[in-house]
Structure formats: structure tokens, C-alpha cells
Structure 1
Amino acid sequence: MNLEAMTTRILLVDDDLELRTLLCDYLGRQGIEVSTLHDAGTLQQRLEHARPDVVVLDVLMPGVDGLTALGRLRTSGDDIPVILLTGRSDDVDRIIGLEMGADDYISKPFNPRELVARVEAILRRRRAVPSPAAPEQRKPFAFGRFKLDFQSRTLSVDNRTLILSATEFALLKVFINHSMRTLTRDRLIELLYGPEGDRTDRGVDVQVWRLRQVLEVNPSTPRLIQTVRGRGYVFVPDGEQHATQQPAVFS
């Protein structure tokens, strides 16, 4: 195992008793602490009393399904890592899940070793994101209707304060530090997670999509985080200049 010396804790939410038993046995032998729920209806209540490192959440369950449970978590501001399990062969659940805030997904059936590898990757990425416990001594940055406070890691708009997730804050900070520069997806991965970052291009696109939901009046026609076709993204603080009309400056 490559996980840190501290015991990794996983909460498995799945109505399949046989799968729960199999995974509990395998993961336990890997030194991972596993707790289980047979449905997602009480997931939020469980998390209020016990916080795992990662939630492994089945999509298709009776009652409250996995996507609904995930949506409730993200709407409440809970940024706990979530891996979705899906038995469908198409990409619908995967795409919807990523857009709703899932960190990863695995298609059933799967090898338990793959789950361990995905958990390791998520925890590595999470450790690479700066901790809120170490506020940055830097003046707030104003752009458009917004002001980002680096010390409190909050975003203000129209006299309202928005709480950003750690990933949203890190991505917005990268864009601010490289304003008006076209950043390729590979460069974004490097800036966010280091040179050994193992995020996919798709994962970066999902993170940008989520941040656009926070910043843009109309996310389908973004003005602050603009797409440079075939190259990547550019942050335009005044929201006026179109990236496609500017010379690309790669960082």
C-alpha cells in the first residue's frame, strides 16, 4: 500500500450486500478502515457524526439514489471526496456525476485494486491543494463584481459572501495569478497538483465547469473564464476581451 501511515477510512454506500462484504474483506486486509451504509438516505446524518476520507457511493439504489445524495452533499457545501460506482455501460451517469461534483467514478464490475488506486489518487490530489489552515497574507483581488479574499478564502459578490471549496479556491487563484494568459489543460494540472499530477483533461474541464457556475452570469457563454479553442482557458478579469481575439501567451 502507498497510502500514508495514518489509516485511510472509506464509507461504502451500496445496497448490494455481497459487494459490501467483498470490499470490506479486501480493503480491511489492505489496512483500510471501512464502514458501510445500505442506502444513501442517511448519508448526510452519518457524515455529521463520522467523517471518512472518501465516500464510495453507488449510483443505482432504491429510495435515495447516488446522484441525488451527491447533489445534496454538494448543495450543502460538503466537499468530501466521492467516488461513484455505476453499473451502466453508457457515459450518462459518469458525466452527470462529474458535473455534480464527484471526484471519480468506477464502472461495475471492477477489481478492488482499482478502487484502492483511485482512492490513493484522490487523496494525493487533495493533499496537493493548499490547506485552509494556512491563510495567505495577500490583499484581496477584485475582478468584475467579485472580490477574492486570500486569507479567508471567500468570494464576495453584491454584498454576499460565497464559501469556495478548496479546489475552487485553488483553481481561481491559479487563474488570477496568470490573468490574460492562455493555460493549457496540462499546465493547469501542473499548477494545481504539481508536475506529478495525475488529473485527466476531462477532470480539469469539470473543475473549470464548476467554477464557471460560481462566477459566470451565463456559464454557457463565459466572460471571465474563456475557452481558447484547441488550446485551453484564459482568465479575463474585466470580462470584456474575448480570448479568441487576443494573442495567446502560454505559461
Structure 2
Amino acid sequence: MKHKILVVDDEPSISLLLDFNLKQAGYEVRCVSDGEAVFGELRTFRPDLIVLDLMLPKMDGLQVCRKLRGEGNQVPIIMLTAMQDLSDKIAGLDNGADDYMVKPFSPQELVARIQVIFRRLRSLPPEGEQQPLQFGEIRLCPVRREVTVRERPIELTPKEYELLLFLCRHSGKALSRQQLLQGVWDYHFLGDTRIVDVHISHLRDKIERNARSPEYIKTIRNVGYKLSEPAAHPAQAAR
């Protein structure tokens, strides 16, 4: 069965270009030209991934991302932006996008990134890595891609989940941002590692008791990040 991709862009030339290249790559594609149309397509087309322009009529890309994630919809989103300003890229990630590309971009590179996302989503872990992982109060089930923290289910985007899983499988090791890019995203960002920092911030908001004073995901100065076993809380120690 073909994966379905929803392209949301109000520039006809971009939509036509993406429609052609994505269909050539074997995907089923539908194009819409404004943000509000996304929510109708979710019911009828049911996309497996959304390519979403930042600047859109009726509802911009940030608003679309924010609404989707607020409703618990974790469909992968690649944000397109004509802005070179880093703050615009970060705004997309902050509102729930998994990745971004700056216009003008290579359609072949977009196809490659989409293939990476789908490959990672459908691949089962090796048999020896299918057992649930317990790290402090964090529990991951790799087969079902489920996470609980303090026995409560946590909703993570696909990239947030993959980042947490990668950190757990390399717990105790200081990992550079470049190592995290290669291990989680499978490609390079030409030195732009801010995407890692944004996803780490999102993870901390969801799993830490206090994101400003994290117990689990520690910042290693001049290096990157490390997942550390937290000290036992009084309630835990009393058990």
C-alpha cells in the first residue's frame, strides 16, 4: 500500500513540483493551498506525512502544527520555509514539526528525508532490542513505540520518541549534537544542530519533573547531552 503525503502550499509551482516528484517516488499525493484545508484532508485522505509550508492563507503552518499536536495527532510534519532566519525554523520545531527545509530546496532531498522518516517508522527493532526499556521512572516499549513516565502514558512525536530511545540505548554516554543528528535523523544539517536542542527541550517538558532542573537529560557543556540515572526521590527510597 502506498504511503499518503499531503502537500500544503499556496504556490502552485511548488505544489506541482512536489506532486510530480513524490508520485515518481511512489507516493500517493494530495495538494491543498491553505492551512484550514488540512483538517478536512485528515478525515478523508488520512495522510501518513504532511509537507507543510510556513506561510499560508487562512491558517499558517505554525497554527496548523500547534492545532494538530494539541489534538494529539502525531503525524510526521516537514515544514517548508522561505525564511533563512533561524528563529523561523525554530518556531516550526517548537510548534511540533519534525523537520524543516528552506526554500529553494531540492525535491530529491525532500524525497530522501521522507524515505528516512517512513523507514524508521516501519522498521522493527532487532529481536534483542524489542524488550521494554526501563530507565528510572521512564519505560519505553520499542515494539509499540509507547512511553510511560511515572506510570502515565506520554505522547511524543515520532522524532521525540526516536531521540529518547537513542538516548536510552546510549545511557550514561555523553553524545554530541552531531552524533544525535546522525543517530536519530540519519542525515546532516550542515552544522545546524539547533534542531537537536529544540527536541531535547520538548522531551524535558514531557518527561522531567522540572524541565529547568532536569534529572534525566543532562546538558554536557561543550559536548551535547547525556541520559543519566536520577537520584532516588524520598518516596522511591522509602519503598
Contact 2:208 2:215 survives alignment (8 Å):
yes
| Higher deviation after alignment, 96-105 or 184-193 | 184-193
- Is the contact made by 2:3 and 2:28 (CA closer than 8 Å) also made in structure 1? yes
* TM-score in terms of structure 1 length: 0.73
Q: What secondary structure sits across from 2:180 in the alignment?
A: helix
Q: Give the alignment of 1:12-91 within 5 angstroms.
A: 12-25=7-20, 33-91=28-86
Which residue does the alignment assign to 1:234? 226
Are 2:178 and 1:186 aligned?
Answer: yes
TM-score with structure 2 setting the length: 0.76
Q: Does 1:225 align with 2:217?
A: yes
2:169 aligned partner: 177
8 Å CA contact 1:40–1:69 kept in 2: the answer is: yes
Equivalent of 1:138 in 116, 131, 152 = 131
Once the 2 structures are TM-superposed, how far is the Cα of residue 102 of structure 1 from its aligned partner?
1.7
**Cα displacement string for residues 170-207 of structure 1 (whole angstroms, at most 9, x for unaligned residues):** 322332233222122233344446xxx21433333333
SS in 2 for 1:105: strand
- The Cα shift of 1:126 comes to 4.0
Whether contact under 8 Å (2:217, 2:226) holds in the other structure is yes
CA distance in 2, matches of 1:192, 1:89: 24
Q: Does 1:198 align with 2:187?
A: yes
Structure 1 residue 207 corresponds to structure 2 residue 199:
yes
User: Are residues 16 and 226 of structure 1, via their aligned partners in 2, closer, same or farther at CA, if it must alter by over 3 Å?
Assistant: same
Distance 2:24 2:151 in 1: 52
Matches within 5 A, 1:80-159: 80-108=75-103, 110-111=104-105, 114-128=106-120, 131=123, 137-143=130-136, 146-150=137-141, 152-159=144-151
Instruction: Indicate the SS of the match to 2:51.
Output: strand
In structure 1, distance between residues paired with 2:178 and 2:102: 26
> Which runs of no fewer than 5 residues in structure 1 stay unpaired?
1-5, 241-251
Q: Does structure 2 conserve the Cα–Cα contact (< 8 Å) formed by 1:128 and 1:192?
A: no
Counterparts of 2:109 and 2:13, CA distance in 1: 21
User: Per-residue CA shift, 1:31-77, capped at 9, x if unaligned?
Assistant: 65431112111313312332334322121222211110011222233
Q: 1:124 to 1:97 in 2, by over 3 A?
A: same
CA 1:158 to 1:38, structure 2 compared with 1: closer, same or farther past 3 Å? Answer: same
Q: Return 5+ residue gaps in structure 2 as ranges.
A: 233-239
Amino acid at match of 2:187: D
- Distance between the aligned counterparts of 1:64 and 1:228, measured in 2? 39
**How many angstroms does 1:18 deviate by?**
4.6
In structure 1, how many angstroms separate the alpha carbons of the residues matched to 2:21 and 2:133?
Answer: 48
Relative distance call for 1:16 and 1:174 in structure 2 (3 A) is closer
Distance 2:174 2:19 in 1: 45
Aligned pairs, how many? 227
**Kept in 1: contact 2:139–2:149 (CA 8 A):** no
Residue 63 of structure 1: SS of its match in structure 2? coil
Of 17-26 and 178-187, more deviation after overlay is shown by: 17-26
Counterpart contact for 2:98–2:157, Cα < 8 Å: no
